[in-house]
Chain A
Amino acid sequence: MKFFRLIWKNVFRKKTRMVLTTGSIVLVLVLIVVLVSLLNAMEADPSGGRGANRLVVQHATGLASFLPLSQRQRIEQIPGVVAVSPEIWFGGVYKDDRPENFFGQLSADPQIFFDKIFDDAMIDPAANAEWKATRNGFVAGQNLVTKFGWKKGDHVQLRGTYIPVTLDLIYIGKYRAGDESNIFFHNEYLNQSKWFGANRVTGIYYMKVASTQDLPRVAAAIDRMFENSDAPTKTMTEKQFQAQFMEMMGNIKGLIRWISLVILFAVTLIVANTVAMSARERVTEISVMRVLGFRRSHVLSFILSESVLMSLLGGLVGVVLAKFVIIPGMVKGMQTTPMAPFLINFRVTWQVLLAAFGISVGVGVLAGFVPAIRSSQLRIVDGLRQVV
């Protein structure tokens, strides 16, 4: 500890260089913390565990194929199934094609949706009852309501894309949940429009089972039940259902890992250059310290400590920025984007903090290693002769 002051003062010896180098570490750490936290969020359960006993049934060939509505009754009869709601992703255009007007539009069975399946969402019972009674009514997540400023009774028109109908919906009320980027409207209202699949098919079945222990059995039973039918199913947990959207984007995780490694390598070179420059400029000083009785091991540990300290400072600022500024800002900005379901888990965890700490120390050690060795190996007389 008695050497800390010396190390600290040497780190801040050239302030501009220190700020620029630390700035590069800050940027890299922000980037890594944000990317890793985002990846973690996308892999985590969007319901925060509350949807752990929900299942999603889709066509075995993928989401582009419909399932017959006749399957609903048979699924409901499987022991352990609490409720089943057919759902269709409408994918209509609100106002215009601009991305900021895009949001999730799903049909559901209002009689059971908030009562038995999506029961971790919070909705005013009066609004829920009114929605059930209003065939062309819809409920929306709080974030969407805030974004578009909808008021009760407002008409919202959605122009269909792959379902060629236009829906004229009336806003009833809002719900609060981890994902507030969707609206829900009646299956009946969609079917009333006589589109090609009306009263015949659905996109998925969103359902709940009595307990998490039942999940594998019920999922297997559903898939077995329809495996030789015209519409074989693929049943998965809500978390697995969300994860498949990640898989559609390819090996994002691998890509992010590679990008992170490359930028880490780049920043290690930057820090190494700074430490090497600093050590080179102080050759005489280091030799003077050796004359005073400091050993080679002292010099080695001083240079290494300076490198680690600089890297740690950058890491600390980077993590604080990512945790308290960047990620909250991103969460706010992405509330009504397709990323919304994942935002509830978009935060810096302790594991990420520890990893960031480890990365900072690692960069410092790697960057400082060679300059530290070279400085400690320098002969005193050579160092004293050096003109800097």
Chain B
Amino acid sequence: MSSAGEKEMSDIIVLDHVEKIYHRDALEIPVLKDIALRVPQGEFLALMGPSGSGKTTLLNLIAGIDQPTRGRILVGGVDISTISQTRLAKWRSQTIGFIFQLYNLIPVLTAFENVELPLLLTRLSRAERRRHVETALSIVALSDRMDHYPRQLSGGQEQRVAIARAIVSDPAILVADEPTGDLDAKSAEEILILLKRLNEEFAKTIVVVTHDPKAASRAHRMIHLDKGVLESDELTETGHLRRV
């Protein structure tokens, strides 16, 4: 058995007694209560639960989009619960790739330009940026659509561009908020296969919020939240196989 310290080293995400309370005027709304969670590097984790259970809030905390009211969040060894907004922004651009349910591509930019966006924050040259973008688009099999605008793409293709944008700066962690929620069954399947590939071939740690048990079954591990409380934490069949 490994010690706590060693375990923390191999866990890329560590949540320690995390609480999140939203304030609406004088009203306090507790969204997450005393969450403790460890995600080992390379794991594919599915967050499930009914609407309002706190899944997206938990995902936002892990991605450094929001900060906890109490508790500590370590991601890749960095305590993101206390660092400044400016440092957090830089950290996000280097560590996290975010995939949204509604793709959230910038409509006035082409697929190429959308994928290039995170790289504009780096010191890469134009040629280097082009190389990275082309690689990312080839991984999602959209090399032939790089000059298309989002309105010229199908929902599945838009989501693949969004995935290319999430992986272009080679982050260690991908977080996805219901990435198949707005897609037809075929496109959803393609996206799940792609996420699986990114996890297995490119060793990305993936955290997915989903309502879809089929999507969750692709993960190694499933966590159920209800009313802000972590209700269950279990390995999926894939997870068992992986462990074996």
Taking Cβ atoms with an 8 Å cutoff, the residues of A that contact B are 2-3, 5-6, 9-10, 12-13, 284-285, 288-296, 379-381, 384
Contact = CB atoms under 8 A, between A and B. Distances in A.
A296 B85 contact: yes
A324 B118 CA distance: 43
A381 B65 contact: yes
B106 A285 contact: yes
Contacts of A291: 63, 65, 92, 98
B83 interface: no
Contacts of A2: 120, 126
A293 B165 CA distance: 12
Interface in B81-108: 85-86, 89-90, 92-94, 98, 100, 104, 106-108
A292 B108 contact: no
Contacts of A289: 106, 117
A382 to B, nearest CB: 10
Contacts of B100: 288, 384
Contacts of B109: 6, 9
18 contacts: A6-B106, A6-B109, A6-B120, A9-B108, A13-B107, A13-B108, A288-B106, A289-B117, A291-B63, A292-B93, A293-B89, A293-B93, A294-B93, A294-B121, A295-B85, A296-B89, A380-B60, A380-B65
Contact of B90 (A9, A13, A293, A379): A293
A290 B106 contact: no
A376 to B, nearest CB: 11
B190 interface: no
A65 to B, nearest CB: 71
B117 A292 contact: yes
Given A288-B100, A290-B65, 7 more contacts: A6-B120, A9-B108, A293-B90, A294-B89, A295-B90, A380-B60, A381-B66
A293 B65 contact: no
B104 A284 contact: yes
Contacts of B60: 380-381
A101 to B, nearest CB: 58
A293 B121 contact: yes
Contacts of A290: 65, 89
Contacts of A380: 60, 65-66
Contacts of B117: 6, 289, 292
Nearest to B89: A295
A346 to B, nearest CB: 42
Contacts of B92: 291-293
B113 interface: yes
Contacts of B126: 2
Chain B at the A interface: mostly helix, strand, loop or mixed?
helix
Contacts of A13: 107-108
A-B complex: 3 closest residue pairs judged by Cβ atoms: A293-B93, A9-B108, A288-B104
Nearest to B66: A381
Nearest to B85: A296
Nearest to B57: A381
B205 to A, nearest CB: 17
B63 A3 contact: no
Nearest to B124: A2
A290 B92 CA distance: 9
A105 B138 CA distance: 83
B96 to A, nearest CB: 8
A292 B98 contact: yes
A290 B117 CA distance: 11
Interface string B23-42: 00000000000000000000
Contacts of A12: 108
A296 B89 CA distance: 9
A174 to B, nearest CB: 60
Nearest to A282: B106
Contacts of A295: 85-86, 89-90
Contacts of A5: 113
A292 B66 contact: no
Nearest to A296: B85
A285 B65 CA distance: 14
A288 B101 CA distance: 12
Nearest to A6: B109
Among A10, A295, A379, the most chain B Cβ lie within 10 Å of the Cβ of A295
Contacts of A294: 89, 93, 121
A295 B56 CA distance: 22
Nearest to A13: B108
Contact of A292 (B85, B113, B118): B118
Contacts of A10: 108
A10 B117 CA distance: 14
Contacts of B113: 5-6
B89 A285 contact: no
Contacts of B66: 379-381
B108 A293 contact: no
A13 B108 CA distance: 7
Given A10-B108, A381-B60, A292 B65 contact: no
A285 B102 CA distance: 11
A5 B126 CA distance: 13
Contacts of B86: 295-296
A295 B126 CA distance: 21
